[in-house]
Amino acid sequence: MMMKKFLNVLFAATLVLSVHCGKGKEASREEEGQDDQEAQTATVAATTASTAPVAAGGGAAAPVSADAATVTGVVKLAAAPPKMPALQMAADPYCQSQHTAPVLDEEVVTGPGGELANVFVYIKQVSGNYPAPSTPVVIDQHGCQYRPHALALQVGQPLQIKNSDATLHNIHALPSVNPQFNEGQPVQGMVSTKKFDKPEITPFRIKCDVHGWMKAYMAVMPHPFYSISQGNGSFTIANLPPGQYTIVAWHEKYGQQEQQLTVGAKESKAVNFTFKG
């Protein structure tokens, strides 16, 4: 009798231990799966961060000081915007095949309230030395258009030129201070890198001799205190040292405006521009 009770107790203990160990293995598998997922997510995030190009809409990150000021604003067009013509891409069947609807010239791009995009806004003169970022600014040839239409970078900062189209492009840059270049890219996926050694504050034209409708504008800045107005007309210039400045807005069709600007330590100031058209 005593032996039978002993065997029953031993069997129950073994069963409990087996179930517990089984759950431990399942929990271990779940933890390993979670660890693998977290590692994969971290790898993707790190890869994305390391390959992300500098945005063309503003200057690279300036050295941040405790007294740095920020300038924001909106650029508008007071008059009714001119009607932009449709780009005629029939000369290259590939280019035409990349669009299901007419593509308009980007000389003037406005929002519903007259907000004006692609305006270069920059501080005219800033004292100090601002080393060029090593991260490249990218201009892409995509759908037989330049993307973006307006871009800027610092002296010595790499410019990465990409051809995302399965057709021949040549990028013909027309600076007036730096040397011009004209480089063909016949193969989809080609990438070239250029640098500019001198400032070109007044934006210069980039064109494609193969596709006459393609154009973009670029400026080469001696400092990081610049921006390009977005689709809603907004711009931001951050980390500006306190002081008195001239702030400039330049548009390819409507020309240039200037305003005097004084910013104090840690101040956020709004400066707006209106082009009459």
Domain spanning 69-275 has what CATH number? 2.60.40.420
Range 37-58 average pLDDT: 40
Model confidence pLDDT, tens digit, residues 243-264:
999 999 999 999 999 999 999 9
* DSSP labels, the chain: -HHHHHHHHHHHHHHHHHHHHHHHHHHHHHHHHHHHHHHHHHHHHHHHHHHPPBPTTBPPPPPP-TT-EEEEEEEEESSPPPPPPBP--TTSHHHHHT-SS--B--SS-B-TT-BB-S-EEEES---S--PPPSSPEEEEEETTEEESSEEEEETT--EEEEE-SSS-EEEEE--SSSPPEEEEE-STT-EEEE--SS-EEEEEEEE-SSSTT-EEEEEEESSS-EEE--TTSEEEEEEEPSEEEEEEEEETTTEEEEEEEEE-TT-EEE--EEE--
Confidence of residue 123 (pLDDT cuts 50, 70, 90): very high
What are the sequence ranges of the domains in the chain? 1-52, 69-275
> Which of 210, 181, 211, 209 is closest to 195 using CA atoms?
181
What are the pLDDT digits (tens) for 59-70? Answer: 666 666 789 999
**pTM for the whole structure:** 0.78
Q: What is the pLDDT of residue 13?
A: 41
What does the pLDDT read at residue 66? Answer: 86
Residue 34, pLDDT score: 40
pLDDT tens per residue across span 167-225: 999 999 999 999 999 999 999 999 999 999 999 999 999 999 999 999 999 999 999 99
